[in-house]
Amino acid sequence: MHELSIARSLLGLVRESVPVGAVVRSAQLRVGPLQAVEPDAMKLAWRAATEGTVFEGAELSLTLVPWALCCRECGRSWSSENWSDPCTCGSCRVDPVGGDELTLVSIEVDETQTRLGSVDSGRAVKRDQASTEVHRV
């Protein structure tokens, strides 16, 4: 299952990003449309991947990123839920840009249950080089 392999990679990143013993409340993932991730399946997969680990019970929140589209006629770029949207100039020659994002955006760690220092990490589950913030709450 596609989502399960993503969940496992994600779990590996979370494990590397937080101090040993930290209690992870939640992880935020940004997903581009090309990843074809089904949110419910993704959450189930996350639950399955974390079960029996110290991260069991951590919540996964997903942000589904819309398509970034660019018009070949007039150069306008915009974002849309629908990749086949025509441009406002009337052109149908529209290209999707990117869309394969899969980024662990942030991790929320419960500070009341750990006394460990802060964590800096900049991690993408795949290709993208976005940064991951670890929020301590």
CB of 96 to Zn ion, least distance (A): 14
Number of residues this chain uses to bind Zn ion (CB under 5 A):
7
Nearer to Zn ion, 1 or 92 (CB): 92
Closest to 3 in 3D by CA, of 28, 52, 51, 38: 38
Among 1, 19, 74, 86, binds Zn ion (CB under 5 A): 74
- Measured from the CB atom, the residue of 93 and 126 that comes closer to Zn ion is 93
89 binds Zn ion (CB under 5 A): yes
Pairing of strands 102-110, 23-31: antiparallel
Please report, for residues 44, 69, 75, 88, the alpha-carbon distance to residue 128 in angstroms, rounded to integers and kept in the order given: 24, 18, 24, 30
DSSP letter (8 states) at residue 87: P
One residue of 31, 71, 102, 134 binding Zn ion per CB under 5 A: 71
Residue 87 CB, nearest approach to Zn ion (Å): 3
Minimum CB–partner distance for residue 72 and Zn ion (Å)? 8
User: Residue 37 to residues 18, 81, 100: CA-CA distances in angstroms?
Assistant: 25, 14, 11
Choose, by CB under 5 A, the member of 87, 107, 125, 134 that binds Zn ion: 87
Name the one range near Zn ion by CB under 5 A: 21-29, 59-67, 88-96, 107-115: 88-96
Positive/negative CA dihedral, 86, 87, 92, 97: negative
Map residue 133 onto helix, strand or coil: strand
Which residues are at the interface with Zn ion (CB under 5 A)?
Answer: 71, 73-74, 76, 87, 89, 91
